[in-house]
Each structure stands twice: as C-alpha cells, then as structure tokens.
Amino acid sequence: MNKTINSSKWAFLNSSSQQIIGFLFFGGMTYLLSPEFFGVYAIGLIFSEILCQLVRLGLSANLINRKKNVSVALNNAFYSTLLIGILVSVAFYYSACLLTSYFEISKYLLVIQIMSIIPLIFSLGSVPDAQLQRKFLYKKIAFATFLASLVSCLIAVVVAFTELSELAFAFQKVIYEFIMLIIIWNSIKWRPSFLINTSILKEQLRVGIPLLVAGLTNVAVNKLKDIFIASVLGPAALGLYRLAIKLQDFVVKLTLGPITAIAIPSLARVKKSEFKGTLSSFIKWMAILSFPIFGGLAITSTDLLSVLFKDEWKDSALALQMLCILGALSIYIHMFKPIFSVLERGGILVKLRVMHFFILFALLYTTSKYGVFYIVLSEIIVTIILTSLGLLLLSKALNENYFSLILSMRTAVVSVSLMLFSLFLVDLFVGNYLTYNPFISLVLFSLFGLFTYALSMKFLFHEDYVVILDYIRASKLVLMLKKQF
C-alpha cells in the first residue's frame, strides 16, 4: 500500500510537470502560430500515435504483471517491438505523400515525414518503460518526463521564431521522445541479450494481442474525431478543436492520469476478495479530483479563453464545454484497460473498443458535417453506452454487481452539483448588476467554486474531507512553507 501511495505521488508529479510545461508551451505557441499549423501537427499525431500503439504489441501490461521467465520475456518483447518499430516507421515515411494529399496539406509534407521516426523511437523505449512501472520507479519516470518536456519545448519555441516555424511541433515531439528514450535506458540495469524463446513469446502474444487490438481501437476512437474534423472542416477547425482538447487533457492527465498510471501494478497485487473495494476507492478519488475542475472549466471556458489566448481561438469555447462533460463521464472508460488487463480478460476489452469504434464512426459519419458540437455529442452518447456495457460485462465476468461502483462517485457528484448551483446563482443575481473583465471574473468564480466545493465536502462527506486535508498538510510543499513562515 505504501508503494502505491508513494508511486501515486510521483505519478502525479509526472503528469503535472508534463501537463504544466506542455500547457505553457501550447499556450505560447498560439501567439506565434495560426490554428492551421496546430491542425497539421494534429494530423501527424493521428497516425504517429496509432502506430506507436501498434509497436507495443500489447506486451507492456504483460511485462508489468509477469511473475516467471521475466528475463526471456523482456528479450522477446524488446526484439519484437524493435522489428515492428522499424517496419512501421519506414511505411509511415513513404506514405506521407498520400496522407498530405488526402488532407490537402501537401505543402506540409516535411512535417509528417519528420514525425515518421516517432514509432521507432517509441519501440526502443517500450520495454524499459514497462520495467520502471513494474518496479514502481515512478520517480525516475517523473524526472525523465520533466526534463524531456522542458528541453523539447524550449527548442521548439526557438524553432518557431525561425523560417522553419511550421516544423516546431514536429521537432518538439521527436526531441521529447528521444530524450525520454535516453533517460529511461540509463535508469535501468537491464540490457537485451539474444536469449529468445518462441514458446514464451507465443504465450506473451496470446495475452498481448487482445490488449493490442483494444489499444489500437482506443487510439483510433480518440483520433476518429480528429480525422472527421480534418477531412470535413479542414485543418484550421481541427486546430481550434485541439486547443479545447489540450485544456481538457490537461485536467485528465492532472487528475485521472496519476491514478490510472498506477492502477495496473496496484490492482495486480490486490486479493480477489478486496478487488471490488480497491476499485471503488480508485473511482471515488478520480471523481473527487476531476469533477470540480471539469465543472469549473466548463463554466469559465469563455473567460479562460479570453484571458489566455488571442481572439482567433475564442471559437474553442463550445467544444471545451462539451469536452468537460465528456471527461467527467469517461472515468470508467479510463479504468477499463487496467481492470481487464489485470484480470487477463483482454477479450472483453477488445469487444468494448471495437463497439466503441463502430458506433462512434456511424454517429460521426452522420453528424460531423454539422459541426464540432455534434462530433463531441456523439462521443458523449457512445461513452454512456460503453460504460453501461462495460460494467455489465465486468459483473458477469466476476459474478458480482459492479453497477454499485456508480455509487462510489456520490461524494463528487453531490459536492460538484452544489458548487455548480452556487455558481449559477452568483452569476444570475450578481452578474446582472456587476460587470467584470474576464480575468477578474475567472479568478472570482474559481475561488468561490473551490470554497463551495470544500464546504460541501466538509459538512456532507467529512471523512473524505479529512483525508484530503491530512494529505495536503503532509505534503512537502506545505511543510516547506511552514518552515519559511
């Protein structure tokens, strides 16, 4: 348990440092580059992220959970992922012309070609990354993430001021992956040998392939919206949408990321009799951390965009509000991968991912021409369907009612509802008489929202409130402040 708590702290630091640096970088670049540049980069990410998922072959989760023949399994995974990484990167490079032609961005061919090396770099880091997670060495992952994010973003900003500005994002991504690769290899003692066993590899692939298919369909689902926006509405519209996604992703990685990052190694060590209770605790704290931020972000989206970005980005507000709703509804979707991976029920995960893909594709094919609002609405509908179906399959697999997990979110749901109702009343009665500039409005709403959320938790869910308060008091930051003052 101590390992889990300590790892969660480093996982949080990992997510927060990466997201804060990435957010500052992304926000700064909005002043240097137009939405079209963001859209072109997003098109490159569609294919690089799908191919990066492919090169893993679904073996990472197996390596984290593995208890026997570990050395052989590591070698099997390393050489398998390396071979696929080489083939995929070569194929990506030579298909760049077709991709840029289809999306009518041929003048940005070099951007896509530079990004074609990312799957190869990613394949080289797949095994050492799994080893660090297996040993709960999230401190080293956090350090690697921080340094890679900082250096790559600084270099990209410099590039953005040159005549090669269109390549800034591509350079940032490649440099980030390369620095991560170097640091994580230096963080482990293991080195590959030619100790390979085909029978063990077959067993690894038997477990990994369903996870691979699930992972591919998951990434494909996430990128499906981008494909439709880029194809139907153009790269500029995709750039505006990606800003909204970046803000939503900032919240997801900051609140849900640290918990999902440690879910597989933590759940793998839990007794069957304690599995449901542990899972319930995971979901409760994911909701407590994320719901107030999603709710506050949805309400203040217009003011936030006005304060942080240029006027040409203000059309992202509606997409951001919808994405906040989607983020709050996606907690179970985020947990299905670690749950079914630990239970070695990859087949169930595959079914959910495939259904997600085809239902979403059908809805997007019908609605994408009407705008981004209907695109995100389609994803919300599918998320509700898949959450219900996933809980049903989990209940059948373990012969227990897992729909009761929904009650795990009651603390967050009640507290956030009271927070949003209070903000609505303030806006209704005070907003009609006072006119604030966007920055003052943003600050006041944020502070009042935080106050009402904490107040509702203190009086209605005192035990959870005390846990949060004790955690804050014991944090290193608070202890440092006490020493100073």
Residue 108 and residue 142 in contact, taking contact as beta carbons nearer than 8 Å: no
86-108 burial by CB neighbour count: b if 16+ within 10 A, else e? ebbbeebbeebeebbeebebeeb
Cα of first residue to Cα of last residue in the chain, in angstroms, is: 33
Candidates 267, 244, 275, 252; CA nearest to 331 is 252
Residue 386 and residue 354 in contact, taking contact as beta carbons nearer than 8 Å: no
pLDDT value, residue 478: 47
Candidates 284, 329, 289, 268; CA nearest to 12 is 289
Structure tokens, 92: 């990506």
Residues (pLDDT < 70) of the chain are: 1-19, 61-62, 64-67, 134-140, 258, 261, 264-265, 430-436, 472, 474-485
Dihedral pair phi/psi, residue 232, rounded to 5°: -95, -40
pLDDT value, residue 423: 85
**166-179 confidence digits (pLDDT tens):** 888 899 899 998 99
Non-local CB neighbours of 398 within 8 Å, separated by 6+ positions: 275, 276, 343
pLDDT value, residue 97: 92
- Which domain does 159 fall in, by range? 2-484
Candidates 121, 127, 55, 43; CA nearest to 88 is 55
Residue 286 and residue 432 in contact, taking contact as beta carbons nearer than 8 Å: no
C-alpha atoms less than 13 angstroms from C-alpha of 223 in its C-beta half-sphere: 19
**421-474 confidence digits (pLDDT tens):** 988 888 777 665 556 677 888 888 888 889 999 999 988 988 888 888 877 676
Within 10 Å of residue 418's Cβ, how many Cβ atoms? 17
Residue 35 and residue 313 in contact, taking contact as beta carbons nearer than 8 Å: yes
Provide the domain count of the chain: 1
